[in-house]
Amino acid sequence: MTDDQTMAAADDGWADPIATALLILADGTVIEGMGFGFIGEAVGEVCFNTAMTGYQEILTDPSYTGQIVTFTFPHIGNVGANEEDVEGLVSSGACGVIVHAPVTGPSNHRSREHFNDWLKRRGIIGLSGIDTRALTAFIREKGMPNAVIAHSPDGAFDLEGLKAKAAGWPGLVGMDLVPEASAPERREWEGTTWLPEIGYGQSGHNKFRVVAVDYGIKSNILRLLADVGCAVTVVPATTSAEEILALKPDGVFLSNGPGDPAATGAYAVPVIQALIAQKIPTFGICLGHQMLALAVGAKTMKMHQGHHGANHPVMDFTTGKVEIVSMNHGFAVDPASLPSNAKETHRSLFDGSNCGFELTDRPAFAVQYHPEASPGPRDSHYLFARFAALMEAKGA
């Protein structure tokens, strides 16, 4: 696509001839479609997600802060929305969503709200009716572009202003977005988990005290910690090591989150270094994986197209098994930079990127992907039991 090229809305016989939503890439490319959801404009990085289900969990994952999600699966929104499937505690997650087919009315017994109304309420702009396959192919070839997504029901846009906004946005490299995604105050997780045929309820057993550092934590992570007997105190990302140690945790959890890990590491790394020096069992996921890596001297790097989806194959070297996992990250740990005391435990079978490591001299490990799923397969739930086993061994 060139600077002046326009990708028109797909003509499926339903599209209004007047475009009511635009995606303007930083190179000047204009993609026209039909708007839904929140009315307005937002700037972010465009990525694609290959999951076929779980659009609510994806769009409310705080790791998507500052991003516009393109779904490769054409039918999104058709099972409506509910509050049980919201993952973020604070952040709305993605600022925009791009789909191929128009959003239909909900058809699911769990639906409590039309997807369009839910998006409006959460401030997420929607664009439909475009060839999402072409946009995905563009991202795979050129990388994740910066862009503005805009929705105006009357089709009136300040095109030149939007182009300037897209071109002027600096992008995610060097950007610390954790303050937007982290809860500002400490809170006790109520211990809810999913109970068969009942829904969300109390786990009923708390064996370990865990402090979860909130860089943008997902609710299902907290549920799975509760499942393995953890009473969890969630603390803000800027909490000091002294404050965390004062809570006398059996273990520390480093959460997922958005933005450039190197930027967040400016204040997070010294805290983690102080915690692992005390040999407290530590478990990191996603951004938490990158934070632990930076804390032991490794480096992170921006990925070309990132990993976003619920169907990624990963090799677990500790078991010799391949698991299918859920991923959402645009930065990765440089495996060549891992120190000698960091043993690689997981690797992507798509591109060979590092997906996990453990420390050989301290009870700490981390994975790049999302073992809690939501959405995604449950192949990796065992990692929460592995964390509990570390805490058990430490207390023995």
pLDDT tens for the chain, 396 residues: list them. 433 334 444 444 444 469 999 999 999 999 999 999 999 999 999 999 999 999 999 999 999 999 999 999 999 999 999 999 999 988 679 999 999 999 999 999 999 999 999 999 999 999 999 999 999 999 999 999 999 999 999 999 999 999 999 999 999 999 999 999 999 999 998 766 665 555 555 556 789 999 999 999 999 999 999 999 999 999 999 999 999 999 999 999 999 999 999 999 999 999 999 999 999 999 999 999 999 999 999 999 999 999 999 999 999 999 999 999 999 999 999 999 999 999 999 999 999 999 999 999 999 999 999 999 999 999 999 999 999 999 999 885
| 188 and 64 in a common domain | no
* Contact assessment for residue 306 and residue 329, using Cβ atoms and an 8 Å cutoff: yes
CA 385 to chain centre: 22
| 183 and 140 in a common domain | no
Last residue of a domain, which of 132, 148, 168? 168
Quick check: is 340 in a domain?
Answer: yes
Other residues' Cβ atoms within 10 Å of the Cβ of residue 114: 17
Q: What is the pLDDT of residue 13?
A: 44
* Contact assessment for residue 65 and residue 216, using Cβ atoms and an 8 Å cutoff: yes
Q: Which range marks the domain in which residue 262 is found?
A: 178-395
Residues above pLDDT 70, as percent of the chain: 92
Q: What is the pLDDT of residue 196?
A: 59
Q: What is the largest CA-CA distance in the chain?
A: 69
Q: What is the pLDDT of residue 204?
A: 63
Single out the residue of 337, 342, 335 nearest to residue 359, CA to CA. Answer: 342
Last residue of a domain, which of 144, 168, 192? 168
Which pTM does this prediction carry?
0.94
Quick check: is 13 in a domain?
Answer: yes
Other residues' Cβ atoms within 10 Å of the Cβ of residue 279: 13
- Per-residue pLDDT of 81-136, as tens digits, reads 999 999 998 867 999 999 999 999 999 999 999 999 999 999 999 999 999 999 99
Q: What is the pLDDT of residue 29?
A: 97
DSSP 375-387: SS--TTTHHHHHH
Place of tokens 């300040």: 158
Quick check: is 275 in a domain?
Answer: yes
Quick check: is 173 in a domain?
Answer: no
Quick check: is 303 in a domain?
Answer: yes
| 248 and 355 in a common domain | yes
Quick check: is 334 in a domain?
Answer: yes
Residues 364 and 370: their CA atoms lie apart, in Å, by: 17
| 210 and 102 in a common domain | no
- CATH number, domain of 311, equals 3.40.50.880
| 163 and 189 in a common domain | no
Residue of 307, 308, 346, 370 with catalytic role: 370
| 378 and 302 in a common domain | yes
The answer to whether 329 is a known catalytic residue is: no
- CATH number, domain of 153, equals 3.50.30.20
Q: What is the pLDDT of residue 206?
A: 86
The answer to whether 381 is a known catalytic residue is: no
Other residues' Cβ atoms within 10 Å of the Cβ of residue 273: 15
Q: What is the pLDDT of residue 193?
A: 64
| 211 and 62 in a common domain | no
| 72 and 96 in a common domain | yes
Q: What is the pLDDT of residue 15?
A: 45
Residue 293 has what DSSP assignment? H
- Per-residue pLDDT of 330-361, as tens digits, reads 999 999 999 999 999 999 999 999 999 999 99
Single out the residue of 18, 35, 151 nearest to residue 103, CA to CA. Answer: 35
According to DSSP H, which parts of 228-260 are helical? 241-246
The answer to whether 47 is a known catalytic residue is: no
Q: Report the number of distinct structural domains present in the chain.
A: 2
| 375 and 329 in a common domain | yes
| 370 and 316 in a common domain | yes
Q: What is the 3-state secondary structure (H, E, C) of 137-182?
A: HHHHHHCCCEEEEEECCCCCCCHHHHHHHHHHCCCCCCCCCHHHHC
Last residue of a domain, which of 168, 195, 218? 168
Residue of 286, 289, 307, 312 with catalytic role: 286
| 235 and 376 in a common domain | yes
Residue of 45, 87, 358, 372 with catalytic role: 372
Quick check: is 1 in a domain?
Answer: no
According to DSSP H, which parts of 60-102 are helical? none
